[in-house]
Structure 1
């Protein structure tokens, strides 16, 4: 039986964190290419440092002759991302940063592995992908990561709407959550480091700004007199973003997923089109885990899928309900392929993923978000629950 009484910690980082700036640019490039060509294949990586952004990777288009035309838009895309995030620092400003575009044509050898002679679509790479869901929050996410995201998202909102103009774009949060009887009941410690634009502000001044928003986001009663606070514990935090520390696409994979509460296959998401199972299979694994919990089959569920490059069907399907299952896990494993096609093409079709819906995923988590009308976060739907129950 799993532990029932313990504390668990997860962290989040804001959209202005150097790595998240890079994730955002990579996903914005992906979205722009998918908007022009829904079958575009993109693997886009971004590096950012003082006054510099470097974008590289490969692109495969239905009409490869148009690649040069699309490449002319990359500089503008990167600057728009930096502006929206809010960077206007002397050494990292959307108008003056140097943008270098090194994107190139997709490798023919990779392309031939993904699309077979009969047009059957294989996985874009080998790998293992995990999905997880738990009924401990309404979003079916672990509480520590869900509320760490919520804090930073709220602070970004009040920064951008002008309510709190002293806050800067770069920030990190960390929550240690107390579990009793296997359920989250409170917060034992709160860590928040946020960039501030007023150099005279002390850590106490910053706490006075952010504390009301943190209390607003957390469930009532979770913070009490015993909760330990660390707000800007190192003191001033004026120099932020890529000017303070270099950033790179794909370095926040635990922040992007379950905050360490569940396994991660190792692959990053941002900048990759949905033929890459690193992304699409991780999303459908979350979709399956969430629907297992929504169907009442378990209180917690982990789903693992594995793939080989150029091979369409998954090599394995594994389900673990962590001792909370109302249905045998092996029966769920047998039911899954009856209700959904887990080939790359099948995943993309079921979740309608060939759309420009990815830049919005680049900060505050790829999971635990509400499904959107245009198809964004389609993997958060629970529309497979009844079919799963019937297939058992």
Structure 2
């Protein structure tokens, strides 16, 4: 039986965290290529350190002339990401850092195995396992610790970028520990917030005075109590941040990107990958299905695992675990999922409209628990499959 009384912790990192700078650049490059050709193939990795950004991986467009033109634009895309995040430090500045582009054409062997032909359907871009999760403990059907860890940093970024808080800088991390009673979150036992700032003379107390009002804005009423422990910039000065303080790399924050450790992870990163890569698209589909199971009232919690093999279209397995909260046996939900949605890579891309330039916005503050956008962004957060799932039971 699932525990009912416990404390659970999740962390988030801001858009200015070195790894998130890299995720942002990789996804911006992906969006640029998808805007030109919806069937673009992209597997883009970024590395950032002091005054330097290195971009590598594989890309493919049917029109090679267009591909060569976009190769020339890659440094400008990277610089615009860094500028928007807000880095103008002496040793990491959007206008002066060196950008090296090592992207090359996609492997012909991978393309042959993945691309559709007259003989076969489009196959998965790689083997692997992907998980989706949903829980009714928040309106967004997300685990509360990761949802509010993201919310804190997103609000501080808004205050920084608007000019409300001119001494805050882009790099930051948050961590929230929540106490659960009867399986529901009721109290923040501790909050950790480390944020880059402008002045070495600013103390931890100074930074807490700046950030606390914004934190109280986003944490549900009553969750912050006199017993809550606050750890704001616990090491003191945090002036040198971003890739100048610590190197960054695409795909290193996979738990931050998903469920904050509240659910398993298949191990595949998302950023920089086009939606033929099931690391990304099938993880989105699994979240979509799990969220719709919970939204439809079929369970209070739902964990879904999908598995794939490279070049093979259909999923090899579908697994559902509802932690004993389901109205029907999990095996019936598994069968209903297979009937309600085409889970081939092409089927996922079509159902969720993934062949669009909608990925740069996912690079920070989580891929899940966000509101669907009118242009198709975060389509996997829709709750429009409930009737189909019920009909398929």
Structure 2: 5+ residue stretches without partners: none
| Whole-angstrom CA distance in 2 between matches of 1:66 and 1:151 | 41
- Deviation of residue 167 (structure 1)? 0.3
The whole-number CA distance in structure 2 between the counterparts of 1:8 and 1:353 is 33
How far apart are the structure 2 equivalents of 1:175 and 1:41? 37
Compute the TM-score of the two structures, normalised by the length of structure 1. Answer: 0.99
SS in structure 2 opposite 1:185? Answer: strand
Query: Displacement, 1:282?
Result: 0.2
How do residues 132-281 of structure 1 correspond to structure 2 at under 5 angstroms?
Answer: 132-281=133-282
Q: 1:233-288: per-residue Cα shift (whole Å, max 9, x none)?
A: 00000000000000000000000000000000000000000000000000000000
- Runs of 4 or more consecutive aligned structure 1 residues displaced over 3 Å after TM superposition: none
Per-residue CA deviations over 1:165-220 (Å, capped at 9, x if unaligned) read 10000000000000000000010000000000122100000000000000110000
Which range moved further: 243-252 or 318-327?
318-327
* 8 A contact 1:116–1:310 mirrored in 2: no
Cα distance in 2 for residues equivalent to 1:169 and 1:325? 42
Does residue 282 of structure 1 match 2:283?
yes
Aligned to 2:103: 103
Instruction: Report SS of the residue matched to 1:72.
Output: helix
CA distance in 2, matches of 1:386, 1:236: 54
> Partners of 2:343 and 2:371 in 1: how far apart?
23
SS of the residue aligned with 1:151? Answer: helix
Number of residue-to-residue matches in the alignment? 392
5+ residue gaps, structure 1? none
For the residues of structure 2 that align with 1:167 and 1:311, how far apart are their CA atoms? 48
2:353 equivalent to 1:381: no
2:74 alignment partner in structure 1:
74
- 1:116 offset after TM fit, Å? 4.4
State how far apart, in whole Å, the 2-side matches of 1:329 and 1:313 are.
20
| Distance (whole Å) between structure 2 residues aligned to residue 384 and residue 206 of structure 1 | 45
In structure 2, how many angstroms separate the alpha carbons of the residues matched to 1:28 and 1:115? 23
* Alpha-carbon separation, structure 1, partners of 2:99 and 2:260: 32
* SS of corresponding position for 1:301: strand
Does the Cα contact within 8 Å between 1:159 and 1:167 map onto a contact in 2? Answer: yes
Spell out, residue by residue over 1:285-328, the C-alpha distance to the aligned partner (whole angstroms, 9 max, x if none).
Answer: 00000000011010000000000000000000000001111111
Deviation digits for residues 129-170 of structure 1 (CA, Å, limit 9, x no counterpart) = 000000000100000000000000000000000000100000
Confirm whether residue 3 of structure 1 aligns to residue 3 of structure 2.
Answer: yes
- The offset of 1:65, in angstroms, is 3.5
1:20 Cα deviation from its structure 2 partner: 0.1
Whole-angstrom distance in 2 between the partners of 1:285 and 1:337: 12
CA distance in 2, matches of 1:183, 1:264: 22
Aligned to 1:55: 55
Question: Deviation of residue 339 (structure 1)?
Answer: 1.1
Tell me, in whole angstroms, the C-alpha distance in 1 between the residues paired with 2:244 and 2:256.
22
Distance 1:345 1:65 in 2: 26
SS of structure 1 residue aligned to 2:101: strand
Name the SS of the counterpart of 2:176 in structure 1. Answer: strand
What's the CA shift for 1:62? Answer: 1.6
Q: CA RMSD in A?
A: 0.6
Say which SS state the counterpart of residue 59 (structure 2) adopts.
strand
Distance in structure 2 (CA, Å) of the matches to 1:120 and 1:224: 56
1:117 positional shift: 3.7
Equivalence for 1:24: 24
Q: Is the 8 A contact 1:52 1:99 kept in 2?
A: yes
The TM-score, its normalising length taken from structure 2, stands at 0.99
Q: CA deviation at 1:60?
A: 1.1
- State how far apart, in whole Å, the 2-side matches of 1:295 and 1:13 are: 32
Distance 2:351 2:62 in 1: 22
SS in 1 for 2:366: coil
Query: Match of 2:29, SS?
Result: helix
Cα distance in structure 2, aligned partners of 1:263 and 1:162? 39
